[in-house]
Chain A
Amino acid sequence: MVQNPREAASSSPIRSLNLPALIQVEEDAHQRPLAISLRRRRLGVASVDDLWEIDEEWWRESPIVRRYYQVTTEDGRPMTIFRDLVSGEWYRQGG
């Protein structure tokens, strides 16, 4: 029989995955993304494949209002980015 070590399975604390990462985005006049700066590279947006907005948790202290863009960059990479409509900052969503 395996003995109970009476220890937590891992010593590392709980860690969030897929946290949005702050990014720089060039916008057009309608605040739509034109290009994304990623690791000091400027990636032009080739196409917007989908866009959507969420408006959540308005009853809480800090509501979540974001506009998402599912884009394909010039180098053919799909990417999901969003503009935080409260702060005006851009983020890249997850992986």
Chain B
Amino acid sequence: MNSSYAELHCHSNYSFQEGASSVEDLLFRAKDLGYRALALTDHDNLCGAMHFAQVARTLEIQTITGAEITLDDGSHLTLLAETQQGYSNLCNIISYSYISGGRKNPAFDIKHLSEMAQGLILLTGCRQGQIPSLVTEGRHREAEDLLRQYLDWFGTANVFVELQHNLVQGDTPRIRRLVDLANRYGVSPVATNNVHYHIPERHRLQDALVAISHNQSLEETHRQRRPNRHFHLKSPEEMAELFLECPQAVKNTLRIADRCGFDITRDMGYRFPDYPVPEGFTPQSFLEHLCLQAAKRRYGSITDRVQNRLDEELRLINRHNLSGFFLIYYEIIQMAREIMIELGLSDVEIPLEERPPGRGRGSSVSMLVGYLIGLSHIDPLKYNLSLERFLSDDMGSVPDIDLDFPRNIREELIKRVHEKWGWDHAALSGMISTYKMKGAIRDLGKALGLPKQDVDKLAKRVDAHSARELKLEMQELPEFRDKTDAPVWRDLIDLADQLDGFPKYLAQHPGGMIISSSPLTDMVPVQQSAIDGRYICHWDKDSIDQAGFVKIDFLALGALSQMQECLQLIEERDGHYIDLSRIDFDDQAVYGMMHQADTIGIFQVESAAQMQTVPRIRPINLTDMAYEVGAVRPGVGVNDGVTQFIQRRTQGIPWDYDHPLEQRALERTLGIILFQDQVNHVARDVAGFTPLEADQLRRAFGRKHNQSLIAFYWEKFRQGASERGVPGDVAEKIFKKFNGQYMFPESHAFAFGATAYHMAWLKYYHPLEFFVAIFNQQPMGFYNTETLKEDAKRHGITVINPDINLSMEKCTIVSGGRPTFHPPFVREEFERYTDGERGEPNSPPFVKGGWGDFRPVKPSPRPSASPLPEGEGVGGEGSDALLLGFLYVKGVGAAAASSIVQTRDSGGPFSNLGDAMERTGLQREALENLVAAGAFDSLTPDRRNALWEVGLRYRPHGYQQALPLPVEQDMAELPKQTEWEIMMDEYRTMRLHPKGHLMTMLRPYLGQDVLSSQDLLGRADGEVVTVAGMVIRRQRPLSKAVFLTLEDEFGHIPIVVWPQAFKKHRMDIKEPVLIIRGQVSRREGTMNIIAQHIRGTQGLPHMPKARSWQ
């Protein structure tokens, strides 16, 4: 392209709170203006560099990787990477800026510049650069000295005097002086425009961002804001006009662009990490050795089947040079195992594969090698998992392996990986936090000086996620409806639309780590994370993937913590540890439970949407489980894919491909795109995309403000498809199936399906341990503990209020009324109050008001695979229960909870309230809440009296200690608490009411016509009914309907609120308890109520909170 200017100083919105245009906006504008090259020089980071280069490559624009760095005196300098060495130096310069200046104030010490100058081109910087400021201040001698120094360090050919004319006061005289200076030293001048946005109109957003970054309003930031709208991408003609006095400066931009041949998408020079192996081994032979050893342990001997599979996998690993890659995983798993042993969760004697510390998702699931080195939990031979989809001869990229760990193991593991490899060789992936609706309203509202209370109110009221919908949302809200065209509010709407999806700051990815044998800081800047001792790299997972780095994801998965705790509890109670990799994956009893939508608390299949699809998809094996968890994803739902998949699968509805070329990609999922890999696959088969192009296409759909990019890909897709004989309308139909919503990769679905099955198995065979574990791992999953408690009750489990003399910090199992593994003293004390072995509590004060009234526990069904040892101190099965821990009580923190337990351990049980107060020294709030939660019921049965007593005895900290003096004389006659008051107190202090349900108490006040979830069972499709319940879920997915789940004393009632009803009742829906009239809708074994009228019940504070999702 014949262009006479290249922009070499350009900020995207990755210059957080500075740049006001996305890289797509900038590149498409550059293309329109006829640029052939564009640099990206964000402030002190390369966060957008890979993203920028990838998009530019699609548009065939040359990119120059650079940055505007901040020196330790606060001045700026522009650096561009000419070569790979220069790029490495740039990464190091940025990394050291953070290491020396701190996470929030990167600053580079100029004296180190000389060591890192090679391969870089230096431009002397913007108005805030050292040389330009010295020149402006008339300090010419100092400016000359500094220029000489730069020349010394970089060489004359690599230093350019940067000239910027943004029509700012002082630009003309400064440029004249800078040109003089350049001429005197034989240095070339270069023009740049210090671009902060792609078009002039964006200057408003840029102004607002500056105000936001100073946490002030536009009015207050007059000095900090840029004075005009001239910081946009200008046409070559405009630039020539501005630099009429120095045309050479414009020409030099192309000279520099020509020199900067380094292409980040091509020339990174990244190598897979090496792995040091023992003497006499190669990485390949060592991996083989490890696998054979494990196979012998696992299978007893190496059968032909095992050997053949192993040979095939090792051949492919060798072919793709992946042995070092797998060995690094092996090492990490070993580290995690050591952590498990230290935490007492495993033993040196137990082989790794028997108690793996984490589990892989992704390729490892289908690989025997993964199973043998401890990456995976599933025996691929037993379940006939095919290798081909994950590791094959023509594989385009490294296999995708993520490792999930229980939370505690992951925390420690990250620390140890940092320790072992060092921050410059191992860093966490970055994650770019972005603007969404609420953040945009608050930040822009403040910048625009709108009244704070209005802004707060609006931010609270809006439901949509995307700030682009602000105007629509405001039109729906009565108090904001007439503001949509009002001055300033109008600006809020415009700017929110532009700001939506903008990067806000660099954060830490929940688990990804990159490890490298050569310094990482040669390839990507690394900086401290907000958490002490952790380091993050400047790229998010997309950029890391695109760079081809080996990324290891250590994710903390609440479900695994739950599973780990559950398995431990089973071991403690039953005496043996269950090896989940050996359970039966075809156990129809477990699937049967799921078919009944009995999935609360089960990873991946517990959401209301899953509850509706599980009974329809009716999984009966692991593959079905993968389809089940994969199907209920926004990206599948968007095109009605779930419904179509179910119809084709279960009802045999005939279907056909839109074009036969789809067959290879979509055959197994009945023509529906269920997994994200299938998008790539379809693009390759239908339109001849290369694997890389297909991947970029899929990612393009996920980007914000991507209209031009999608249009570009559509054209490419249409052409490619047409060359393969696909008619335009069919190509369009196929292309429309792609979308930017989230879908699982197939391998994730498989791994998660297996984990979901494991959890279901545990729930079915060990419900008590299952619920204790999930109670202890809160917050996690979809439901609040009140709902979990109700579900536990339905599984025959009694939940007991905390007890000052029995509870531990966390929830525990009480067997026959006593804890199964409590310190000896409790047991002794307990014996004194009980009738001996069966452990039935027989007298006050220990159990007054306690659990005598509870329904007996239904014996849990047991797996034949793991018969339970009888007796052995385990109480009668009939009375096992979940005893709430002290941590469940609001205001009792970890320190207070463990001090209660320790005091009791050392001095014996508490004899009365005064004794407990004296010995524990608990704060008043904690004491009162413990009373309200029923923890003192066994000592002082009347909670109101107990509260009175706390008041009499309590002395604030620093006063004399409470003495166990008699207080009887001061006790008053107080009315007994009603059941309602007790319940509300328990909701307030624990967010759950163990004994009953709110709806039991409300029921008598509701009309006769209000049906319960049980009554609904007999109601036919189309009947109009009224129901009531506590809202436990509000969800508003992309389809715009709102989904609610009501809970009553018998179960759940799913509600669908279509837009019209929603419009009428959008405020009522926010009430904690709702009475809804609507129509019964039944299909394929599921039932919903289609809401027609919704009203709340007023005046119920402290209700358990519904979990709300978008």
Contact = CB atoms under 8 A, between A and B. Distances in A.
Interface of A: 48-56, 58-59, 61, 67-68, 70
Interface stretch (B169-177, B419-427, B713-721, B723-731): B169-177
B894 interface: no
Interface in B207-259: 207, 218, 222, 227-230
A50 B172 contact: yes
18 contacts: A48-B172, A49-B172, A50-B169, A50-B171, A50-B173, A52-B168, A52-B228, A53-B168, A53-B228, A54-B227, A55-B229, A56-B222, A58-B204, A58-B207, A59-B449, A59-B487, A67-B167, A70-B169
B488 interface: yes
B327 interface: no
A70 to B, nearest CB: 8
A52 B204 contact: no
Nearest to A60: B487
B974 to A, nearest CB: 60
B492 to A, nearest CB: 10
A55 to B, nearest CB: 4
A55 B228 contact: yes
A59 B229 CA distance: 14
Most buried by B among A48, A49, A53, A59: A59
B218 A59 contact: yes
A63 to B, nearest CB: 10
B218 A51 contact: no
B491 interface: yes
B228 A68 contact: no
A79 to B, nearest CB: 15
Nearest to B222: A56
Interface string B149-170: 0000000000000000001111
B228 A54 contact: yes
B488 A51 contact: no
A70 B171 CA distance: 12
Contact of B227 (A48, A50, A55, A59): A55
B448 interface: yes
B168 to A, nearest CB: 5
A14 to B, nearest CB: 21
Given A48-B172, A50-B169, A59 B448 contact: yes
A61 B172 CA distance: 32
Given A48-B172, A55-B203, 10 more contacts: A49-B173, A50-B170, A50-B173, A51-B167, A52-B169, A52-B227, A54-B228, A59-B204, A59-B449, A70-B169
Nearest to A61: B487
A49 B218 CA distance: 30
A60 to B, nearest CB: 8
A76 to B, nearest CB: 18
Nearest to A52: B169
A59 B169 contact: no
Most buried by B among A49, A53, A70: A53
Contacts of B448: 59
Contacts of B491: 59
Interface in B162-209: 167-173, 203-204, 207
A62 B487 CA distance: 11
A59 B204 CA distance: 9
B167 A53 contact: yes
Contacts of A56: 222, 227
A9 to B, nearest CB: 29
A52 to B, nearest CB: 4
Nearest to B217: A59
B96 to A, nearest CB: 37
Nearest to B449: A59
Contacts of A55: 203, 227-229
B449 to A, nearest CB: 8
B216 to A, nearest CB: 14
A65 to B, nearest CB: 8
Given A52-B227, A59-B448, A59-B488, A68 B169 contact: yes
Contacts of B488: 59
A52 B242 CA distance: 12
Contacts of A52: 167-171, 227-228
Contacts of B449: 59
Nearest to A50: B172
A44 B388 CA distance: 82
A68 B227 CA distance: 12
A69 to B, nearest CB: 10
Contacts of A51: 167, 172
A68 B491 CA distance: 27
A55 B203 CA distance: 9
A56 to B, nearest CB: 7
B815 to A, nearest CB: 68
Contacts of A70: 169, 172
Nearest to B167: A53
A58 B218 CA distance: 10
Contacts of B168: 52-53
A35 to B, nearest CB: 20
A66 to B, nearest CB: 9
A37 B567 CA distance: 92
Interface string B39-56: 000000000000000000
Shortest Cβ-Cβ A-B pairs, 4 listed: A52-B169, A53-B167, A55-B228, A53-B228
Interface in B479-535: 487-488, 491
A49 B207 CA distance: 28
A50 B487 CA distance: 35
A53 B230 CA distance: 8
Contacts of B169: 50, 52, 68, 70
Nearest to B208: A59
B490 to A, nearest CB: 9
A25 to B, nearest CB: 18
Interface in B121-171: 167-171
Contacts of B227: 52-56
Nearest to B230: A53
A93 to B, nearest CB: 11
A51 B218 CA distance: 24
A18 B269 CA distance: 62
A89 B986 CA distance: 73
A48 B169 CA distance: 12
B595 to A, nearest CB: 59
Nearest to B200: A55
Contacts of A61: 487
Contacts of B171: 50, 52
B934 to A, nearest CB: 57
B137 to A, nearest CB: 16
Contacts of B218: 59
A60 B730 CA distance: 51
Most buried by B among A53, A55, A67, A68: A55
A70 B172 CA distance: 10
Contacts of A53: 167-168, 227-230
A87 to B, nearest CB: 17
A61 B167 CA distance: 24
A50 B173 CA distance: 6
A71 B760 CA distance: 82
Nearest to A80: B169
A68 B449 CA distance: 28
A54 B203 CA distance: 12
Nearest to A48: B172
Nearest to A55: B228
A48 B491 CA distance: 36
A7 to B, nearest CB: 34
A67 B230 CA distance: 12
B768 to A, nearest CB: 62
Contacts of A54: 227-228
A71 B65 CA distance: 40
Contacts of B230: 53
B208 to A, nearest CB: 9
B1089 to A, nearest CB: 47
A51 B229 CA distance: 14
A67 B172 CA distance: 14
